Amino acid sequence: MSTLHLILLGIIQGITEFLPVSSSAHLILLPKIMGEADQGLLIDVGAHAGTLAAVILVFWRETWQLMQGSWDVLRRRDTGNARLTLYLALATIPGVAAGVALISFEETLTRHIELIIISNIIWGVALWWFDKTGAQDKTIAQDLTWKRALFVGSAQMIALIPGTSRSGITMTAGRYLGFSRIEAARLSLLLSIPITAGAVLAVLVKLVHNHPAPEEYRQFAIVAGLSFITALFAVVGLLKWLKRFNFTPFVVYRLGLAAVLIVWLYF
C-alpha cells in the first residue's frame, strides 16, 4: 500500500467519521478510485481508533461522567450519570448484535458501490426531511429516556450498510425525536464511543492473533495518527456549525456523491 493511500485514508476517515456523510463509504471508494487493493480490516481499524481517540478528547467531560456513571451503576446509585451510562449501554446493544450477526456478510456484499449509492440517496433525503420538520426543544440532560436512547441506538443497525452513515442515521433519529441539532449531534458522538471502542477492540484482538508484519503496524500508526488529528477539527467544526446552521450542506454532498457514482458506474 502506497504512503499516499495511507495519508488519504487517515485524512478522509478523520473528516468523514463524525459528519453525516458515511466514512465507511469513503474508505471503500478510495482504493477503487486510486486503483489499489482494498486496505483491509487492520488499516480500517487504525482509522477508527484515531477518530475514537479524538471524540474522547473533545468530550472528555462527558467521558468522565460516563466513567463516574459506571461506578454509580455498580454501587446501585440512581444518579444522572448512572442513567446516561445505562441509556448509552442499552442503545449500543442493537448495533453490536447486528454487527456480530452480519460480520461475514459485511465483508462481501455491503462493499458494493450500488449499495453506497442507494443508501446515500435514501438516508440523505431522510436527514433533510427530519431536520426540516423536527422540533428543536429536547436536550440529552432533560429529555433522554431509555426508549429514546434505544430508538436512536437501534438506528445504528442500518449503518452497517456502507453509505448509510452511523453519524447520519443517529442524527436523523435524534432530529426525528425532536432533539435540537446540536443535541442530536452530541448524542450521536457519545454513542460512537462505546460501539467504536468495542468494534476496534474486537477486531484488533482477532487480527493480532494473525501476527501482522511490522510494516502493517507502521501503516496502522500512520492512519490512526492522521485520522485523530483531522477528526479533532471535524468534530469541533461540526458542533460550531450546528449551533448556527442546519444539515442541508451534508445532504447536498451526499446526493452529489451518489450522482457522481452513478455516472462513474454506468456511463
pLDDT at 219: 87
Strand, coil or helix: 177: coil
Where would I find the H helices in 155-180? Answer: 166-176
Task: Name which residue leads in pLDDT, 231 or 213.
Answer: 231
Q: Are 231 and 18 in contact (CB under 8 A)?
A: yes
- Tell me the C-alpha distance between 229 and 54, whole Å: 7
| pLDDT tens sequence across 81-121 | 999 999 999 999 998 888 777 655 555 444 688 999 999 99
Rounded-to-integer distance, Cα 17 and Cα 9, Å: 11
Burial 140-157 (b: 16+ CB within 10 A, else e): beeebeeebbebbbbbbb
- Confidence (pLDDT) at 5: 85
pTM score of the predicted model: 0.90
